[in-house]
Amino acid sequence: MIAELRAISSPNELSTPQTVPLLTVDRLKAYYKVKLFGVDREVRAVDDISLMINRNEIYGLAGESSSGKSSLIKTIAGAIRPPLRVVEGSVRFAFSDGERDIYKLSPQELSAIRWSRLSYIMQGSMSVLNPVRRIRHAFEDFALPHVSAKGADFTRLVERHLSRLHLDPAVLQAYPHELSGGMRQRVTIALATVCNPEFIIADEPTTALDVIVQKGVLSMIREIQQEFGSSVLFVTHDMAVHANLTDRLGIMYAGRLVEEGRTRDVFKKPLHPYTAHLISSLPRIGDEAPKKALEGSPPSLADPPPGCRFHPRCPLAIEVCRREAPPMVEILPGHRTACHVAQADPARVRTVA
Ligand SMILES: Nc1ncnc2c1ncn2[C@@H]1O[C@H](COP(=O)(O)OP(=O)(O)OP(=O)(O)O)[C@@H](O)[C@H]1O
């Protein structure tokens, strides 16, 4: 079995002539350089991650708190500042007007692609909407520099975009506090997409919303993605949201990507014990069996355990897991995992429940 498996050393090996990735992240490492009790330490928040995101797909990124999701997306967006630094690797976009290697761009080149090609929907809408200024100012501040339309033409462009997203253009005259939380988040999404970006990063955009409002926001994101043909990197720890929204799913644990595949395949046949645990802990109607909590806690990323970072909590851990970090290997078509046990016998992983 092992002989048949193929170690993926570079994400390019996953591409086929039919799928041209819009984003290629190659062996990316980004660490926080900090002083802990007077000693220099590195928090390895993004540790050797390779992945690709195709055009016209929603790629989900899941993992518990502190697994490195926010650090990874900030690094992908080129939006990092000290103490977070890129130590190794690359982030490349193949936009329709040419390739960009994010860490080879000048600050001017980077700001030229922000909002117009690469856009970001933040966690809390209030971080982009100024509480003392009307919504229309946010559109002028962020989008106006990136479109050719000015004055009344710009207003018409924004109003048309809002209407297309089923929002009343009257929101432009409102102050953020006059809108509900759900409405503010929809406005933030309209703001992030008004320049028709090719790549959208959404960082937990629905976490603070109730389930009904959340549903509306998720369908809005799906509608935008389908209408504009954009790619979306959607980050949330909420596996139920991933099940409903994303096309492919990557699972992070302790700064590393541990599994990736089509969302339905990951849910049907998880290939990493951590993913199997995440899925088995989702509530199901009629299932009254008590849910087992995962024992232990995630490791410190300033001093992670050797070998597989999940091994101290893994019910299937074997000797090699304590010694060697498992490589990411494609086990089923388009479905890869970093797990020694799954690489020897994928069926064993499904005994974790
Ligand atoms: N400014 C910082 N300085 C030092 N370490 C940091 C800093 N910000 C985050 N970290 C550490 O980096 C690691 C990854 O954090 P990150 O916020 O990326 O995780 P996350 O998966 O997005 O978590 P959450 O879902 O809670 O936002 C954690 O160990 C965290 O403590």
Does the pLDDT of residue 287 top 80, yes or no? Answer: no
Looking at per-residue confidence, does 281 or 70 come out higher?
Answer: 70
Least confident of 16-30, 51-65, 193-207, 252-266: 16-30
134 within 8 A of 176, measured Cβ to Cβ: no
- Closest protein CA for atom 29 of ligand 1: 66
Rounded-to-integer distance, Cα 229 and Cα 293, Å: 39
Does the pLDDT of residue 195 top 90, yes or no? Answer: yes
- Domain residue spans of the chain: 21-246, 273-353
pLDDT of residue 17: 39
Each residue's pLDDT tens digit, 227-248: 889 999 999 999 999 999 999 9
pLDDT of residue 325: 96
Rounded-to-integer distance, Cα 5 and Cα 202, Å: 33
Q: What is the mean pLDDT of residues 336-351?
A: 92
pLDDT of residue 294: 79
Whole-number percent of the chain with pLDDT over 70: 91
| Phi, psi of 49, rounded to the nearest 5 degrees | -105, 130
Atom of ligand 1 nearest to the CA of 237: 25
Q: What is the mean pLDDT of residues 241-260?
A: 97
pLDDT of residue 79: 92
Q: Does any ligand 1 atom lie closer than 6 A to the CB of residue 301?
A: yes
Q: Convert 132-143 to b/e letters by CB count within 10 Å (16 or more is b).
A: eebbbebbbebb
Q: Which two three-digit tokens encode residue 139? A: 């559109």
Does the pLDDT of residue 106 top 80, yes or no? Answer: yes
Query: Model's pTM, two decimal places?
Result: 0.90
Q: What is the dihedral of CA 258, 336, 30, 42, to 10 degrees?
A: 30
Ligand 1 centre and the CA of 68: distance in Å? 6
208 within 8 A of 176, measured Cβ to Cβ: no
Q: What is the mean pLDDT of residues 137-143?
A: 91
Does the pLDDT of residue 123 top 80, yes or no? Answer: no
In this prediction, residue 10 has a pLDDT band, given cuts at 50, 70 and 90, of very low
Ligand 1 centre and the CA of 45: distance in Å? 7
Looking at per-residue confidence, does 57 or 142 come out higher?
Answer: 57
- Of 18-27, 32-41, 64-73, 114-123, where does the model show the most confidence? 64-73
Q: Which of 67, 207, 297, 309 to mutate to test the pocket of ligand 1 (most atoms within 8 A of CB)?
A: 67
Q: What is the mean pLDDT of residues 48-70?
A: 95
Question: Within the chain, what is the greatest distance between any pair of CA atoms?
Answer: 68
Q: Which two three-digit tokens encode residue 287? A: 């299932």
pLDDT of residue 12: 41
Cα–Cα distances (Å) from 336 to 51, 258, 259, 339, in that order, read 11, 8, 6, 9
Map residue 259 onto helix, strand or coil: strand
Atom of ligand 1 nearest to the CA of 34: 4
In this prediction, residue 11 has a pLDDT band, given cuts at 50, 70 and 90, of very low
pLDDT of residue 139: 94
Ligand 1 centre and the CA of 213: distance in Å? 27
Looking at per-residue confidence, does 158 or 14 come out higher?
Answer: 158
Does the pLDDT of residue 211 top 60, yes or no? Answer: yes
In this prediction, residue 86 has a pLDDT band, given cuts at 50, 70 and 90, of very high
Beta strands 231-235; 199-203: pairing state: parallel
pLDDT of residue 124: 66
Q: Using the 8-state DSSP alphabet, how is residue 52 labeled?
A: E
Q: Which of 65, 71, 81, 274 to mutate to test the pocket of ligand 1 (most atoms within 8 A of CB)?
A: 71
- Of 5-14, 138-147, 311-320, where does the model show the most confidence? 311-320
Does the pLDDT of residue 18 top 80, yes or no? Answer: no
Question: What does pLDDT average to over the chain?
Answer: 89
Does the pLDDT of residue 267 top 50, yes or no? Answer: yes
pLDDT of residue 353: 64
Does the pLDDT of residue 4 top 70, yes or no? Answer: no
* Amino acid at residue number 75: T
* CATH number at 21-246: 3.40.50.300
| Phi, psi of 175, rounded to the nearest 5 degrees | -90, 150
